[in-house]
Amino acid sequence: MTPTQAKTGNRGVTIWLTGLSGSGKTTIATALAERLTRQGMAVEILDGDEVRRNLSADLGFSAEDREKHNKRVIYVSKLLMQSGITVIVPLISPYRAVREFARKELGRFVEVYVECPLEECIRRDVKGLYAKALRGEIQKFTGVSDPYEAPDHPEVLVRTDKQSLDECVERVLDAVSEKGYLASGSPHGGVLVDRRVSGDDARALREEASRLPGVALDAFGLNDLYMISSGAFSPLRGFMDRNDYDSVLENMRLSSGLVWSLPVTLPVTAEESKRLGGAARVALRDAGGRPVAVLDLNDIFQVDRKKEARLAFGTEEEAHPGVAALYKRPDARIAGRVSVFEDIAPREFADEWHEPRDTRAIFQKRGWKTVVGFQTRNPVHRAHEYIQKCALEICDGLLLHPLVGETKAGDIPADLRMRSYRAILQGYYPRDRVLLSVLPAYMRYAGPREAIFHALVRKNYGCTHFIVGRDHAGVGSYYGTYDAQHIFQRFAPADLGITPLFFENSFYCRECGNMASSKTCPHDASRHLTLSGTKVREMLEKGELPPAEFSRPEVARVLTDGAKAATR
């Protein structure tokens, strides 16, 4: 290891795009670089023409000169990789031997064959070079007057005359991620998904969607669509098909083998499903009937809602809010990749609104190598503060990540909670070590399975650690107090890619004179200050502040004000 490697812990990778002039290497390289940069990776493109001008102005296009030039590029790639940089090389590199040399020399190497028939490259002739070569004005032009040796076994083969740019980029990202070449701290599955399109592409899709058969999204569907499209649900690129759905329910893994614990599916009514017969693409519409996305339809299937309830929630009882929500939806599902062309972000808390790519960038800017995520749908009382600060003793930063999507009746409204979080952060947390940001998802109340789900989602937001407390994402008495912790034992740490931190119930102990848990305090419960949720609610409604050992007065005041406003 060089000193730089030791510092960053990254070893870089070279993505080598070979193919004829005009095959689309540079276009793919640029789109690829944009995607990787967006997820916080350091990327350099060594573009053929530019590198040649700066590095090899002395060289021509003989076989010998080409080899020399390619070897210089390989040398520079190696240097960049040693600094943990992802190097993208769009280079004709017509000779197999040199590419094999690159593979040996660089080690972490992904060869992408950008295939495009010569006739198509000649038709495109972006730089006007083919016309000149065909007139004999350029000698030794690859494909015309010099050979191109196509790779026998490239890691990726893309056909730019047949596949869209998006598809080509996804193929490359999949390969790089499957090889495990993406830096640690990568999103789940390796790549931060982004299924949003803008500009001309969005205009074209909007136009197309107006002519497609449509499906109405319910509030959950629209929310899931947003979470998928922003990358929060990476590696999901759309709604699950039957294979993924069954595999997730039965094994808590996608059919690819990646850990995933809860179904993310798109219900349609029987009538809608009938109308879609044979359609390849479907317009997804919001509550107002406005098309917001297009789905590439690859599966229509029926689910057994009772079975889903039993496996995902551990109960078939309709009293369970997650089960009730499931039973309200029809039982047909449609599946496929989505492309979102309207802004569907439910931006409620603009100051604390950070998408996965944003939180990742913030963590990087602040130099946080380890970040612990804290999921909450409650105010932060002293017990939670204690747990967060225990975690903050061992991590560089804390992402306080309250869920602000739909919760069940009786939970404290999100705006009131947000005020309480701001109050406690202001008074009691080091400003430069905490980020308060909202998670716009809805609660599923799936207990243990949702704990895994919450952890993976936080991994996508850039967390390396995740706090799992008692009865995480639980409701009523459907789950055992520590079931949500035990479920993590079923997965190898590398399969999860985020480290769970387990905490017991904590409290203020009068004898110890501090916050503690059964792990750290030897005294019996009579010495512990504990208040039931019901008791606290009663106090707040009467305008009484709970003891400062239970709740910071700043937080309690926000909550009593809220309770008073609610009863008025």
Tell me if 439 contacts Zn ion by CB under 5 A: no
CA 429 vs CA 396, 466, 467: distances in Å: 13, 18, 17
Give the binding-site size for Zn ion (rule: CB under 5 A).
Answer: 5
Least distance from C-beta 508 to Zn ion, angstroms?
Answer: 9
CA pair distance 88, 70, nearest whole angstrom: 13
Question: For the purposes of burial, counting CB atoms within 10 Å of the CB of 411, is it exposed (0-12), middle (13-18) or buried (19 or more)?
Answer: middle
As given in the structure block, the two tokens for residue 219 are: 């509030």
Q: Which is nearer to Zn ion, 249 or 383 (CB)?
A: 383
Given the residues 93, 186, 234, 273, select the one marked as catalytic: 93
Q: Which stretch binds Zn ion (CB under 5 A): 173-181, 193-201, 287-295, 507-515?
A: 507-515
Q: Which stretch binds Zn ion (CB under 5 A): 27-35, 91-99, 426-434, 521-529?
A: 521-529
Neighbour count for residue 114 (Cβ, 10 Å): 25
Q: Which is nearer to Zn ion, 495 or 511 (CB)?
A: 511
The contacts of residue 6 (CB under 8 Å, 6+ apart) are none
Rule CB under 5 A: choose which of 175, 240, 380, 509 binds Zn ion: 509
Q: Which is nearer to Zn ion, 26 or 517 (CB)?
A: 517
Q: Which is nearer to Zn ion, 415 or 511 (CB)?
A: 511
Least distance from C-beta 519 to Zn ion, angstroms?
Answer: 11
Which residues sit opposite 332 in a β-bridge?
268, 302
Tell me if 523 contacts Zn ion by CB under 5 A: yes
Least distance from C-beta 527 to Zn ion, angstroms?
Answer: 6
Q: Which stretch binds Zn ion (CB under 5 A): 22-30, 40-48, 303-311, 511-519?
A: 511-519
CA 49 vs CA 17, 54, 135, 299, 478: distances in Å: 14, 9, 22, 44, 63
Phi, psi of 266 (to 5 degrees): -115, 105
Tell me if 515 contacts Zn ion by CB under 5 A: no
CA 303 vs CA 272, 360, 451, 541: distances in Å: 16, 36, 23, 43
Q: Which stretch binds Zn ion (CB under 5 A): 231-239, 273-281, 427-435, 503-511?
A: 503-511
CA 99 vs CA 89, 96, 152, 187, 374: distances in Å: 11, 5, 11, 30, 46
Rule CB under 5 A: choose which of 512, 529, 531, 545 binds Zn ion: 512
Q: Which is nearer to Zn ion, 359 or 506 (CB)?
A: 506
Tell me if 521 contacts Zn ion by CB under 5 A: yes
What does the DSSP assignment read for 296-315?
E--EEEE--HHHHIIIIIS-
Neighbour count for residue 191 (Cβ, 10 Å): 23
Least distance from C-beta 533 to Zn ion, angstroms?
Answer: 23
Q: Is 93 noted as a catalytic residue in this protein?
A: yes
CB 466 within 8 A of CB 228: no
Rule CB under 5 A: choose which of 50, 415, 511, 538 binds Zn ion: 511
Least distance from C-beta 83 to Zn ion, angstroms?
Answer: 50
Residues with active-site annotation: 93
Residues forming the site for Zn ion (CB under 5 A): 509, 511-512, 521, 523
